[in-house]
């Protein structure tokens, strides 16, 4: 390990807990100073940011090379994202977990989808919907405690009436979630539409990605059950573009996407006001560049969620939910340091003063 570090200033442990100083020794955080000299790092210190909807190894056309995936992961790291829950990748990115200079990675395996019912080359496509439970059990074994299922997408078979439709029969989806749970994994689902959310809630879903179609009743139920939602506002900002491209051929779908785009900020405020646990995800990979989590957090604040809650959701609260320690005695030293307090102004997250991953200063 490198030279010990002396972290000073305001060290944010949780919603209300703070420290004035701590040290990084042999890659871990400690409240006891080392015997020898330590390099001073001063500022507002947060547990490393957490991107729970990120796709290391995915590009616009599907899987990318290992070299490109490394560039993606380093962009995330340099933006202060030190823990990633990969929300599906066509690349076998387990190699990232062997690299000490790249963010910690919790893998959800492959997206599970159907042919012609998701983006080409992105997911594992099942020709037979009845295979979903088996596939979810397999992905549970392949991943790191999470399974990602694509729950809805446009069904183009209906011509001008084509719209977002669930991919899976409700009973099969429920069997799939149960199979993943039996295998020891949680399930999170891509969900744009209103109609699919009832099926997800009935199935016992553990997380919802996007959630743009959730009604007030859905939101209240998610709050009651403490089901986290990841708003991905950077992605939802593109809904107007999707609508424009589809308007002539699929007007019903286009109208829905346009409406969800227009109320995207209102939807996120409703999540927060109802008490839904929010998680922060950039949806990087595909069309969104890696290292975008700070921009996502700015957008969530713009939607009306207080900066403190947004920063907490992207740092210590997400770590608690994923079972990964933040700032505490003996924990791995994964912290980000800022010149100003991001709980007051999230825009400072775009310019970290220092990034410390596994005790190494970047």
pTM: 0.97
Q: How far apart are CA 108 and CA 148, in angstroms?
A: 6
Q: Which pLDDT does position 2 carry in this prediction?
A: 78
Nearest 5 degrees, angle CA 131-CA 115-CA 259? 110
Per-residue pLDDT, 47: 98
pLDDT value, residue 1: 65
Contacts of 139 (CB under 8 A, 6+ apart): 108, 109, 110, 112, 124, 147, 148, 180, 185
Q: So where are the chain's domains?
A: 5-45+328-361, 49-291
pLDDT of residue 297: 98
- Closest CA relative to residue 304, chosen from 278, 265, 260: 265
Q: What is the pLDDT of residues 29-38, one digit of tens each?
A: 999 999 999 9
| Alpha-carbon Rg for the chain in angstroms | 20
Q: Distance of CA 31 to CAs 20, 21, 44, 316, Å?
A: 10, 8, 17, 19
Of 261, 260, 268, the closest CA to residue 303 belongs to: 268
Is 49-291 in CATH node 3.20.20.140?
yes
Topology given in CATH for the domain delimited by 5-45+328-361: Urease, subunit C; domain 1 (2.30.40)
* Distance, CA of 172 to CA of 170 (rounded, Å): 6
Q: Is the C-alpha dihedral spanning 99, 100, 102, 103 positive or negative?
A: positive
Instruction: Please indicate whether the domains covering 5-45+328-361 and 49-291 agree at the CATH topology level.
Output: no
pLDDT at 277: 98
Strands 18-25 and 58-59: unpaired
Sequential pLDDT tens for the chain (362 residues): 678 999 999 999 999 999 999 999 999 999 999 999 999 999 999 999 999 999 999 999 999 999 999 999 999 999 999 999 999 999 999 999 999 999 999 999 999 999 999 999 999 999 999 999 999 999 999 999 999 999 999 999 999 999 999 999 999 999 999 999 999 999 999 999 999 999 999 999 999 999 999 999 999 999 999 999 999 999 999 999 999 999 999 999 999 999 999 999 999 999 999 999 999 999 999 999 999 999 999 999 999 999 999 999 999 999 999 999 999 999 999 999 999 999 999 999 999 999 999 999 99
């Amino acid at each position: 390990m490198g030279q010990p570090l002396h972290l000073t200033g305001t060290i944010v442990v949780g919603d209300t807990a703070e420290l004035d100083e701590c040290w990084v020794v042999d890659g871990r955080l400690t409240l006891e100073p080392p015997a020898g000299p330590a390099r001073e790092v001063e500022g507002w210190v947060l547990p490393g940011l957490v991107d729970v909807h990120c796709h290391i190894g995915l590009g616009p056309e599907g899987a990318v090379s290992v070299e490109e995936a490394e560039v993606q992961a380093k962009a995330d790291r340099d933006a202060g994202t030190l823990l990633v829950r990969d929300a599906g990748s066509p690349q076998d990115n387990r190699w990232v977990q062997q690299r000490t200079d790249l963010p910690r990675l919790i893998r959800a395996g492959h997206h599970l989808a159907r042919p012609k019912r998701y983006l080409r080359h992105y997911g594992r496509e099942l020709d037979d919907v009845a295979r979903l439970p088996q596939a979810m059990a397999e992905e549970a074994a392949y991943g790191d405690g999470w399974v990602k299922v694509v729950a809805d997408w446009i069904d183009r078979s209906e011509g001008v009436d084509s719209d977002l439709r669930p991919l899976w029969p409700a009973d099969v989806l429920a069997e799939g979630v149960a199979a993943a749970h039996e295998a020891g994994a949680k399930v999170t689902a891509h969900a744009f539409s209103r109609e699919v959310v009832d099926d997800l809630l009935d199935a016992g879903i553990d997380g919802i990605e996007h959630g743009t179609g959730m009604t007030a009743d859905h939101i209240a139920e998610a709050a009651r059950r403490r089901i986290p939602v990841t708003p991905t506002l950077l992605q939802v900002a593109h809904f107007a573009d999707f609508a424009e491209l589809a308007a002539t051929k699929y007007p019903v779908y286009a109208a829905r996407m346009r409406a969800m785009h227009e109320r995207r900020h209102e939807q996120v405020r409703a999540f927060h006001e109802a008490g839904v646990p929010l998680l922060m995800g950039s949806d990087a990979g595909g069309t969104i560049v890696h290292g975008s989590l700070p921009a996502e957090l700015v957008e969530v604040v713009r939607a009306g969620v207080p900066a403190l809650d947004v920063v907490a959701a992207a740092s210590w609260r997400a770590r608690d939910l994923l079972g990964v320690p933040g700032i505490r005695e003996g924990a791995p030293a994964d912290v980000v340091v800022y010149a100003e307090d991001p709980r007051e102004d999230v825009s400072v997250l775009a310019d970290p003063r220092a990034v410390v991953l596994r005790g190494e200063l970047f």
